[in-house]
């Protein structure tokens, strides 16, 4: 699995840190209260936050480093993780991040509308694409080698005002359209950090299968299907007619379906 700190879950608890961050609004600061494993900072203006987090990890950023930024109507956060198993099984950290983000979003939205996930990394709300998650690892790392770092990031559409008539982008939605509170970046980062800590605690104490089921509770699946996630993150789907399908994880992580290759942000 992956961890937020080099010391793991048994590290001595420390007081929560207050960190000065910037919310979605342009200039107004917001104090974030994050779990002790996290150290936060703003991403560079208009940066690809995921790419910046990967560069920071490559340059020695500590596990738990969290970057927050916005670009082209989207808000993105990224966190550096400390894997302790080979790359192939360590990629299952994606499910911890996706569950934490889905739960964090749900905590601020209308309770009657669930946050759902399309395999493995696209977030939907009220039948519209809201964003997605990504996982990064060092270039050239072998499947059977423990990577020096992982980066999980998630991007959400905060507003589609810059995209013109909403009728031109019917497949997506935004936090603004769905009535989420304004200036949500800071509170969302706080909630995500707490839930990600909880996700790794569940994985460590109860086993990956328990965490996987929490992720699967958000996943869109064919009616009547039974599913499980194996030791390298591939999903096996058992249909009612006894057909069995395998949905590999690694190939779809290379090119996230939710990400626009031209803009580098969430597809509208």
Query: Which residues are within 8 A (CB) of 164 and not within 5 positions of it... i.e. 6 or more apart?
Result: none
The reply to whether 261 falls in a domain is no
pLDDT for 28 beyond 50: no
pTM across the whole model: 0.90
In a domain, 71, yes or no: yes
Look at residue 32 and tell me whether its pLDDT is greater than 90.
no
| Domain contains 115 | yes
Is residue 262 situated within a structural domain?
Answer: no
Question: Looking at residue 19, what is its pLDDT?
Answer: 28
Domain contains 259? no
Over residues 198-207, the pLDDT tens digits come to 999 999 999 9
In a domain, 197, yes or no: yes
Report how far apart, in Å, the C-alpha atoms of 20 and of each of 16, 79, 103, 238 are: 13, 17, 24, 48
pLDDT given for residue 5 in this prediction: 75
What does the pLDDT average to over 167-193?
94
**Sequence-ordered list of residues with C-beta below 8 angstroms from that of 136, at least 6 positions apart, any chain:** 50, 53, 54, 57, 150, 151, 152, 153
DSSP summary character for residue 259: B
CATH of the domain at 54: 3.30.930.10
Q: How far apart are CA 241 and CA 196, in angstroms?
A: 36
Residue 96 belongs to domain spanning:
2-254
Q: Whole-angstrom Cα distance, residue 97 to residue 135? A: 9
Residues 86-142 pLDDT 10s? 999 999 999 999 999 999 999 999 889 999 999 999 999 999 999 999 999 999 999
- What is the average pLDDT score of the chain? 89
For residue 68, tell me if it sits in a domain: yes
**Share of residues in the chain with pLDDT > 90 (%):** 78
User: What's the confidence (pLDDT) of residue 6?
Assistant: 59
Please state, in angstroms and rounded to a whole number, the distance separating the CA atoms of residues 108 and 141.
38
**Domain count along the chain:** 1
Mean pLDDT within 221-245 = 95
Closest residue by Cα to residue 119 from 104, 132, 109, 138: 132
């Amino acid at each position: 699995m992956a961890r937020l700190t080099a010391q793991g879950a048994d590290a001595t608890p420390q007081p929560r840190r207050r960190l000065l961050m910037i919310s979605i609004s342009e200039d107004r600061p917001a104090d974030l209260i994050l779990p002790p494993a996290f150290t936060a900072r703003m991403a560079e203006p208009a940066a690809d936050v995921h790419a910046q987090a990967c560069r920071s990890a490559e340059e020695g950023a500590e596990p738990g480093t969290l970057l927050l930024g916005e670009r082209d109507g989207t808000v993105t956060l990224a966190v550096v993780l400390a894997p302790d198993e080979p790359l192939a099984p360590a990629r299952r950290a994606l499910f911890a991040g996706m569950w934490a983000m889905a739960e964090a979003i749900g905590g601020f939205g209308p309770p009657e509308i669930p946050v759902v996930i399309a395999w493995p990394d696209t977030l939907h709300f009220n039948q519209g694409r809201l964003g997605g998650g990504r996982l990064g690892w060092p270039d050239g790392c072998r499947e059977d080698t423990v990577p020096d770092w992982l980066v999980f990031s998630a991007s959400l559409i905060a507003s589609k005002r810059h995209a013109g008539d909403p009728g031109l982008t019917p497949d997506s939605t935004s936090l603004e359209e769905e009535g989420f509170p304004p200036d949500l970046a800071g509170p969302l980062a706080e909630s995500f950090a707490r839930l990600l800590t909880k996700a790794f605690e569940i994985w460590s104490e109860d086993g990956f299968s328990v965490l996987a089921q929490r992720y699967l509770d958000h996943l869109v699946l064919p009616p009547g299907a039974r599913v499980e996630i194996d030791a390298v993150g591939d999903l096996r789907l058992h249909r009612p007619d006894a057909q069995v399908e395998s949905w590999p994880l690694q190939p779809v992580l290379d090119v996230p379906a939710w990400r626009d290759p031209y803009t580098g942000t969430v597809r509208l």
